[in-house]
Structure 1
Amino acid sequence: MKKSLFTIFTVLALVACKDNAKTNSDTTTDTTEKTEEIKTYPSDVLPFMNKWSILCGDGTKEENLVNFEHEGFFYVENENSTDWVVYKTPNSGITSRTSSNTRTEMGQKKHWIPEEGGKLTGTLKVQHVSTTGDATKASSYSVVIGQIHSDEGHENEPLKIYYKKFPSHTKGSVFWNYEINTEGDNIGRFDYSTAVWGHDFSVVGTDATNYPEEPENGIALGEEFSYEVNVHKGIMYLNFTSEGHETITFTKSLIESEFATRKDIPEQVKTVYANREKGGGVERKTAYAGEINYFKQGAYNQANPKSTKSEVYGGDIVKQYENGSYAEVWFKDATVGESTEPTKK
């Protein structure tokens, strides 16, 4: 009898252990499944996404960026426990009606005039710019990572912040361009470029495959830097920072032109636009005063095949990504909002 009871208890214990193991297994499976279900969207990293819409390099448009991603164009990467929002776009794809350049770039929903202003910040690193193109073309190997765009009149751009790196160089350049708000028609419009770190827009190669000297104080791919654009009472205040580099600041009026007469046209402009119909005009005296503008941020690829002769493999986006004909920019922090009183020095 004692032996029988022992046998029964042994069997029950084995069954209980088996059931318990099954329960633990189910719990582990459930936990794994729940872990796999957790997804990080760009709006989790940069919580201002409700203030933007986006156009991606394949023509995808989206007005609601909360819990939105687009594989291969707009998504999140985690590197060393830090989440980054990735903006990626080929040299050739589907773009907006006013540009030959593809973009995975956000446009601010709120519009404003310079007298009202606004503020945009970003901390980022450029991971890739096109490795195909013509070195004599100023837009080759470059991407715009932030801008102010007009939404009326000529729809020009009072600010474009660039990153550009020639293929054989380790360090690239950060610079910003101001496009005049042309008086009369827009044929004579031009960009005036100012260097932050490295060269400005006008520094190009001697021929298609010979590059200029590498900038000593440039920014490498994968190197973090930050910018702040603060338009306050019609004046644009720019601030650029990066560890190991000098902090650089600029002040530019958006309501009073520096380029209102022929004698005001800089030598840089005469050189860059010497062989083009575009360029050499003058700006209206009040520049962008009273004109509706808005911020843009992301990757606005400047290496289109039309102007830079970049290789685009028949427009095949996969092949462009495989062969270096694309731009990729990562942001880990960014804000947009009202302008602030500039810091007095």
Structure 2
Amino acid sequence: MKKLVMVSIFMSFAGAASAQVNEFGLDPNLAPWENFDLSVWGLDSPALREISANNETGVRIDDFEFIALREGPNNSDFDDAEDLFFGSDSDVESSDPYFFTGPDGGMVFKSPVNGGRTSLNTRFPRSELREYVRGGVTSRDNGLSIRISGVNENNWVLGYQPDNLILDDNGSSGRGVENVGGRNGLLRATLRVNKVTETGRPDDIGATIIGQIHAEDDEPLRLYYRKLPQNERGSIYALHEINGGSDLEERVFVGSRDDDAENPDEGIALDELFSYEIENVGALINVTVRRGDLNGDIIDIITFDMEAENSDYDRRNEWMYFKAGAYTQNNVAVEEFNNQLLPGADTTGFGPDGTEADFDQITFYQLEVSHDDNDCTACSE
């Protein structure tokens, strides 16, 4: 099968003169978008653009020059989130506390529990990359527009989805499968979880999402890291969400997602290097977790079979994108902390009394994404 897209987000600066370049080729003196190629990613940032009694909105940052789709609060994917661009110090200044280069050159995502939410459909803050296969390009050579969301070149489809996926602007079929961003997908990452939340409800504490396959409304794959305050090591588990429902299938790599989980003997400690691979091939989602880098020892490999689970993603109008970063799963703490915020309050993760909000922080050292072309040779009929 031909490869339509192969983007390596880890960039090796072998020729760099800096003596501070680390083992992954990352320079702590450079911005994240200088160490990493972020041309097919946008950032959902928890930086608060506006604070009021009923409106805390987040910031959206993209590497590509386009105006984000705004259709009003009932239709837009983002609640009037501010459009910013990587590579401009003035444009990204508001998100510096939440997306920056660490002292070891890694790409750091920090998500405080009082951060703004960038989607109308979530109560959780995040500092997280969102994939756009075409790099967010919103126009074709023939002048036709490409939406950021939807079944189009900016997003991809699962391997078992049927062909003829796209409708034209008048709602008629006929554009063909070539206008989908790709079929099947592979996301690979090396990272360290530096900190997780230690406050909030028992079922919220210490849990953060580190990688996703996201559909229009639901998530075929969510990969979690969770460490409880009393434990030295954390657990890793994955959830598969059935399309249009609340049913979840769970697979555990190490430890337990339970609120009273014991310290996992083979778990991952804070600041310990590990890697994951999230792969869709046909109706299967395979997830691999390793110790160390992408060549490290395998902890476990799990598989979700979407046909066997009757997951209902094999539709013509469904579309996918990868996400990677820190997606805080602590909404009680969010609500409690935001109730203390006043208009004009400090938006760098501190409350009116100067107390720093609890937060998750994750550092990435490698990030790769690839897709097959959309020839649909193995599609369901």
Query: Normalising by the residue count of structure 1, what TM-score does the alignment of the two structures yield?
Result: 0.67
CA offsets 1:148-205 (integer angstroms, 9 cap, x no match): 1112xxx1001111111111211111111111113xxx4xx13222111211x3x123
- Equivalent residue, structure 2, for 1:240: 289
- Equivalent residue, structure 1, for 2:193: 126
Q: Distance in 2 between matches of 1:332 and 1:326?
A: 20
Percent identity reads 26
Contact 2:349 2:357 in 1 (8 A): no
- Equivalent residue, structure 2, for 1:170: 232
Q: 1:43 to 1:113 in 2, by over 3 A?
A: same
Give 5+ residue unaligned stretches, structure 1.
1-37, 206-211, 261-282, 341-345
Aligned to 1:50, the other structure's residue is in SS state coil
1:1-345 matches, cutoff 5 A: 39-47=29-37, 49-58=38-47, 59-64=58-63, 66-67=86-87, 69=92, 70-79=95-104, 83-95=105-117, 96-110=119-133, 111-115=155-159, 116-135=183-202, 137=203, 139-151=204-216, 155-182=217-244, 186=245, 189-199=246-256, 201=257, 203-205=258-260, 212-243=261-292, 246-254=298-306, 256-258=307-309, 260=310, 283=311, 286-290=312-316, 291-305=318-332, 314-315=340-341, 317-319=348-350, 323=356, 325-339=358-372
CA offsets 1:113-159 (integer angstroms, 9 cap, x no match): 10221111110000011110122x2x3221101101112xxx10011
Q: CA deviation at 1:324?
A: 5.7
Q: 1:242 to 1:312 in 2, by over 3 A?
A: farther
CA offsets 1:207-258 (integer angstroms, 9 cap, x no match): xxxxx3211111110001101112122322211100496531122233x142
Q: Distance in 2 between matches of 1:312 and 1:216?
A: 36
Contact 1:92 1:101 in 2 (8 A): no
Q: 1:90 to 1:336 in 2, by over 3 A?
A: same
Amino acid at match of 1:42: P
Q: Distance in 2 between matches of 1:312 and 1:72?
A: 18
Contact 2:109 2:325 in 1 (8 A): yes
Task: Single out whichever of 290-299 and 310-319 deviates more from structure 2.
Answer: 310-319
Contact 2:191 2:366 in 1 (8 A): yes
Q: 1:322 to 1:175 in 2, by over 3 A?
A: farther
Amino acid at match of 1:43: W
Q: CA deviation at 1:93?
A: 2.0
Amino acid at match of 2:35: V
Q: Distance in 2 between matches of 1:288 and 1:237?
A: 17
Q: Distance in 2 between matches of 1:159 and 1:294?
A: 11
Q: Distance in 1 between matches of 2:108 and 2:35?
A: 11
Contact 2:240 2:304 in 1 (8 A): no
Q: Distance in 1 between matches of 2:129 and 2:314?
A: 22
Amino acid at match of 1:72: P
Task: Single out whichever of 296-305 and 243-252 deviates more from structure 2.
Answer: 243-252
Amino acid at match of 2:214: H
Q: Distance in 2 between matches of 1:191 and 1:163?
A: 17
Q: 1:217 to 1:93 in 2, by over 3 A?
A: same
Query: Normalising by the residue count of structure 2, what TM-score does the alignment of the two structures yield?
Result: 0.61
Q: 1:94 to 1:311 in 2, by over 3 A?
A: closer
Amino acid at match of 1:223: E
Contact 1:114 1:289 in 2 (8 A): no
Aligned length, in residue pairs: 254
Q: 1:312 to 1:192 in 2, by over 3 A?
A: farther
Q: Distance in 2 between matches of 1:129 and 1:288?
A: 35
Q: 1:311 to 1:217 in 2, by over 3 A?
A: farther
Q: Distance in 1 between matches of 2:219 and 2:372?
A: 19
- Equivalent residue, structure 2, for 1:12: none
For the pair shown, which has the larger CA radius of gyration, 1 or 2?
A: 1
Amino acid at match of 1:92: N
- Equivalent residue, structure 2, for 1:272: none
Contact 2:208 2:226 in 1 (8 A): yes
Q: Distance in 1 between matches of 2:273 and 2:339?
A: 31
Aligned to 2:236, the other structure's residue is in SS state strand
Amino acid at match of 1:77: G
